[in-house]
Amino acid sequence: MSEPEPSLSLRGVFIAFEGGDGAGKSTQVRLLREYLEELGHTVVVTREPGGTTFGRTVRELVLHGDHVAPRAEALLFAADRAHHVETLIRPALERGDVVITDRYMDSSIAYQGAGRDLGVEEVRDLNLWATGALLPTLTVLVDLPAEVGRTRRQGVHDRLEAEPADFHGAVRDLFLGLAGADPTRYLIVDGELPPGQIHELVRDRVATVPGVAR
Ligand code: TYD
């Protein structure tokens, strides 16, 4: 396996948001998009699973279908990601755009690797293969205790959200472990702060990413 390639050889900037369910990532994605567009960037906002037509079919299967065997689930998320990278993310980065994705491979490492207990290394390697080892320039982890996320989501649960508290606890710990081990590529923000304050922290950090300030 070749070493992971942060998207350095590409002209664009690749930013991922990660975190548990109900952490408020989509609000942050929207606010960051507005900020970057004001700076004059072309911004592509996308998400996983489901950023492409193929991905929307996978999303239905994996989030709203009947039982899916854990390894099949990991492969479906990886298949969505492989197609997403090849048809949408990499071309946008080659054009020099900023790509913001709501979730990327750390979600698989956390939910399938740790939550489903399929093995963090195995799921990481699967996803490095699926993406040609494309890593974000920066990953923002919006961290939230699992109980708080659950309360915010209220009654609506997809297959993953419906998992018990210890599953979501393992997911959170794994996200924090990944982000804490690599502060140059991750920003951890407290998801219990007001959204405006979270955005300021994100904006300040994103402004330091090469190619962003103008
Ligand atoms: P998300 O789209 O963030 O949920 P929603 O739009 O309902 O807020 O994520 C969907 C679910 O899929 C979420 O519970 C996390 C899970 N997931 C994985 O388990 N593995 C993955 O690789 C990805 C991308 C998501």
Residue nearest to atom 23 of ligand 1 (CA): 107
Nearest atom, ligand 1, residue 103 CA = 24
Question: Is 48 inside any structural domain?
Answer: yes
Q: How far is the CA of 206 from the centre of ligand 1 (A)?
A: 24
Question: Is 49 inside any structural domain?
Answer: yes
Question: Is 3 inside any structural domain?
Answer: no
Which string of b and e fits 47-77 if b means at least 16 CB within 10 Å?
A: bbbbbbebbeebbebbbeeeeeeeeebbbbb
Pocket residue to mutate for ligand 1, from 73, 108, 111, 175, most atoms within 8 A of Cβ: 111
- CATH code of the domain in which 148 resides: 3.40.50.300
Mark residue 172 as left, alpha or beta (left: phi above 0; alpha: psi -120 to 50; beta: remaining). Answer: alpha
Mark residue 149 as left, alpha or beta (left: phi above 0; alpha: psi -120 to 50; beta: remaining). Answer: alpha
Nearest atom, ligand 1, residue 108 CA = 22
pLDDT in tens, 90-125: 999 999 999 999 999 999 999 999 999 999 999 999
Q: How far is the CA of 175 from the centre of ligand 1 (A)?
A: 14
Q: Which of 7-21, 35-49, 160-174 has the lowest mean pLDDT?
A: 7-21
Find the residues whose C-beta lies inside 6 A of ligand 1.
21, 47-49, 63, 77, 103, 107-108, 111-112, 158, 160-161
Mean pLDDT of 167-171: 96
What pLDDT, on a 0 to 100 scale, did the predictor assign at position 5? 58
Scan for tokens 């989509």, then name that residue. 26
H-run or E-run covering 15: strand 13-18
Can you tell me whether residue 139 is helix, strand or coil? strand
Q: How far is the CA of 43 from the centre of ligand 1 (A)?
A: 22
pLDDT in tens, 44-76: 999 999 999 999 999 999 999 889 999 999 999
Strand partners of residue 43? 98
Q: Which of 81, 72, 96 is nearest to 14 (CA)?
A: 96
Question: Is 51 inside any structural domain?
Answer: yes
What pLDDT, on a 0 to 100 scale, did the predictor assign at position 182? 98
CA dist., res. 80 & res. 50, Å (int): 7
What pLDDT, on a 0 to 100 scale, did the predictor assign at position 170? 96
pLDDT band at 154 (very low <50, low <70, confident <90, very high): confident
- Contact (Cβ atoms closer than 8 angstroms) between residue 97 and residue 44: yes
Q: How far is the CA of 40 from the centre of ligand 1 (A)?
A: 30
Question: Is 181 inside any structural domain?
Answer: yes
CA dist., res. 124 & res. 28, Å (int): 25
Residue nearest to atom 19 of ligand 1 (CA): 111
Question: Is 44 inside any structural domain?
Answer: yes
Question: Is 212 inside any structural domain?
Answer: no
Cβ neighbours for 199, distance < 8 A, ≥ 6 positions apart: 28, 31, 32, 35
Nearest atom, ligand 1, residue 47 CA = 2
Residue nearest to atom 12 of ligand 1 (CA): 160
| Tally of domains in the chain | 1
| Strand ranges (E), 85-185 | 98-102, 134-135, 138-143
Pair type for strands 98-102 and 13-18: parallel
> For residue 153, is pLDDT > 90?
no
Question: Is 138 inside any structural domain?
Answer: yes
Can you tell me whether residue 115 is helix, strand or coil? helix
CA dist., res. 73 & res. 160, Å (int): 10
Residue nearest to atom 8 of ligand 1 (CA): 21
- Contact (Cβ atoms closer than 8 angstroms) between residue 135 and residue 89: no
- Residue 189's domain comprises 13-206
In this structure, which amino acid lies at residue 169? Answer: G
